Chain A
């Protein structure tokens, strides 16, 4: 399924947070949404999902306006991992992941076989099968992120939006989450992830969308977006560009005045 966001505009009382931002995510594509703090990345994700009202713009799923979708239909097409990682009640991890099946269930009664299998698949995909019975409220940061990512994967939606999925994780878990996202994309899911780590964005993403002051500044292959000029203009940093094992990388190095 293809996601298209056109001319997305969100206003706050005194300023414009998103200014006619456009992007697309194709099936099986891993797209990174990058930009400095306050650029409007999370706002764009929220506006696409419908967690925040937009003042102008359209969201299309395979060319059909999302507003024509019912809430359940939309939920089954778009999975969303928000920045908020709070889990209110000390539920077992498996019950948390099962919440991803919400748009597939009706009425009361125990979950169907299909739901149980989807939850198994999702927990296996994030290597969290052994966490199933653990209390989700006291998991470590890495475990919690994986369980919540499994919750989003359990929706088995053709599109996955993840807001800073690797924030606050150690390098091992950051790489792990990036691999999970890449695997999701390679199995056909269109993935849009907000990232702050430019090095990992460069290495893992198929395409990057650079946002600054609510506007899309650049959109294309990582090497074409993370240019010296863009890094200087948008991030106000100089970076080291290099390559290892045939892959290019970028490493932010110093602040510019």
Chain B
């Protein structure tokens, strides 16, 4: 894997992201073609097309790109840090913890009162989940990590169900249930700006982990002897992943398996180097979620299939495949 083909890969991925972003702007129930997009870009007139583009399609496309990139980047980072290809925000319980935080914010009305409480509570809960996970699965292998994730997921799901079942308003509950399924439909630019600072912080922190993750390939002792500050690295991964997953989940609900599928597909293409996997995964995640969201719009008419349902349907067989392949690891 030389640097040239790596730059080539990043270029191809960037082009795919750009194209799927454009597709996301143009595909939908009301047909908006390339001329419309051009027209709006030249800010000609206050047409319906402009309204749809600015108020509906653009936030949706932006959120698709940003949420996909954040989830895949977090997955790649967690996998590198825990040295475990199964570490995915959804599987190991970080997403459900974020969802719990978001549900609490929505349920109590706090999110209406102070909008920023939504991402903050989601991030806070995901932070707790990552910390719990790291202390539970510190020295264990893949199995310990997955079991810890199952425990955290179950606890968060139970608490979310509790909130729903004692809700006095059945319609609010229904809304939360649908929200939990994961979607980026009907979001506004306000949603995007609400999470943008947290996402940017998360990306920055995770970007700083790139080279230390390479050194970690040979184990913690070698990494320390090479000058890696392990407590600092743990802090960067923990807070970075919590910011990314918490903020993403706060506006889009639970969208699982992006962090599993994308790094896994790209790993051989970057020569298995953890640092190179990070930018590639971010681009790949953005492309995957944008494309999945376009497909969702193309497939359905009356009521849309939720994005989180699609990524789960694609991701679960993948997970099965990885589990079967790592059975020898589990058997130990």
Contact = CB atoms under 8 A, between A and B. Distances in A.
The contact size tier of chain A is 20 to 34
Contact of A50 (B215, B224, B267): B224
Interface string A81-110: 010101111111001100110110100101
A102 B229 contact: no
Contacts, number: 83
A75 B227 contact: yes
B144 interface: no
Contacts of A95: 1, 271, 273
The contact size tier of chain B is 20 to 34
A74 B267 CA distance: 32
A128 interface: no
A51 B221 contact: yes
Interface string A157-182: 00000000000000000000000000
B220 A51 contact: yes
Contact of A89 (B3, B226, B274): B274
Chain B: interface secondary structure? helix
A102 B218 contact: no
A92 B217 contact: no
Given A102-B211, A110-B3, A151-B218, A92 B271 contact: yes
Contact of B217 (A78, A87, A105, A108): A87
Interface in A57-73: 70-72
B210 interface: yes
A31 interface: no
A91 B227 contact: no
Nearest to B219: A84
Contact of B214 (A46, A80, A99): A99
B225 interface: yes
Going nearest first, the 7 A-B pairs with the smallest beta carbon separation are: A75-B227, A80-B225, A71-B227, A82-B221, A89-B272, A102-B226, A110-B3
Given A76-B227, A80-B225, A84-B221, 17 more contacts: A46-B221, A49-B221, A50-B225, A51-B224, A70-B227, A71-B229, A74-B227, A75-B225, A78-B225, A80-B221, A80-B222, A82-B225, A86-B219, A89-B217, A99-B214, A102-B211, A102-B214
12 contacts: A50-B224, A71-B227, A75-B225, A75-B226, A75-B227, A86-B218, A88-B217, A88-B219, A92-B1, A96-B218, A108-B211, A151-B218
